[in-house]
Structure 1
């Protein structure tokens, strides 16, 4: 079973979309078997379990032997076309994050009295007191930007190396937690519906 896929609402989801198949015979025919469909009342995410796949395959080959490898379910997310209102939100969010991070850095420097620290280090290194120790402040400012590039592992769209960025890791862990929550929630819902029908 594949971990997660996207499909438009209302379209039939086929076996080849939710599972990798290895079979003797006509694999292409098996891949085209309908497994599930988003119903109008469904949420934007649904789960196709291994048992749903077995149920479909049993109708064609009751004597067949099935083996499941990997996760026992596939999460199917409703794909939606990108609308303009969402795209227009990118600039205000970017601006908010840019200004917010700038303010956070400036407030941090004010809290730790960075100017006084630079003035003191400048005096210790040169023996000259300076109101604006640019000799330290310019490399320090450039170093903050360079450090951010190295930390986030991106220069425009190019990655510096193959390691995932901290943001990619956080998004990955967040998606893993959402998927696990959805699986647990869906299993509890299905168990409740089986109890009430039994």
Structure 2
């Protein structure tokens, strides 16, 4: 009786240079116990010097590898047709002077952006006008508005980004995280389309 193997490729995988990629690393497998033990450690790909930092493994390559050791098995694939393998090289230590320089650039860049925005919308004049309307007095520095506004601006940014340093406030993703996720998905789709040699055919390939 023909047995069935269900394969669901993972979306993304990180490996080290020169590492062997096994089937259990790139896919979830459902199969009979005997078949599962035969294919779970099946080598699908081995990272070599010619590989760059991104590798795309197509589901057809996975099916071919399984059929090479178990020819009469029925393979059912679920989910994505490719898995993106990212080759992670040894990370260099972060330079402290470079970190401080980037931090200062971001800090003063954000500060100038906020100040220029307030200048464009005449925030100081608006607060002075509101203070005069509410109290009947003229004050060039209405701190009763400026101090709470400054505190609220900082708290608003914390709530917007949903992080206080490394601590997440709640499980809801921030707009920035959503945009980063969308960018990563678009990038993965581009890589899967352009780096997958199985899905591309040139005029010279006959």
Asked if TM exceeds 0.5, the reply is yes
| 2:198 pairs with 1:185 | no
| Number of the residue aligned with 1:84 | 93
| Number of the residue aligned with 1:58 | 67
Please say which of residues 86-95 and 111-120 is displaced more in the overlay.
Answer: 86-95
**Aligned residue pairs, count:** 197
Distance 2:94 2:152 in 1: 37
TM-score norm. by structure 1 comes to: 0.92
| 2:88 pairs with 1:71 | no
**SS of equivalent residue, structure 1 residue 192:** coil
Query: Aligned-pair RMSD on alpha carbons?
Result: 1.8
Distance 1:86 1:71 in 2: 39
Rate the CA distance shift 1:160–1:179 in 2: closer, same or farther, 3 A.
same
Rate the CA distance shift 1:6–1:88 in 2: closer, same or farther, 3 A.
farther
| 2:131 pairs with 1:131 | no
1:101 Cα offset (Å): 0.7
1:87 Cα offset (Å): 7.4
1:3 Cα offset (Å): 0.2
Rate the CA distance shift 1:88–1:19 in 2: closer, same or farther, 3 A.
farther
**SS of equivalent residue, structure 1 residue 20:** strand
Unpaired runs of 5+ residues, structure 1, are: none
| Number of the residue aligned with 1:20 | 28
Q: Which has the larger share of helix?
A: 1
Rate the CA distance shift 1:88–1:177 in 2: closer, same or farther, 3 A.
farther
TM-score norm. by structure 2 comes to: 0.89
The structure 1 residue matched to 2:181, chosen from 163, 172, 181, is: 172
Q: Which has the larger share of strand?
A: 2
User: Per chain length, whose mean CA-contact separation is higher, i.e. which structure has more relative contact order (CA < 8 Å, sep 6+)?
Assistant: 2
Distance 2:31 2:126 in 1: 70
| Number of the residue aligned with 1:197 | 205
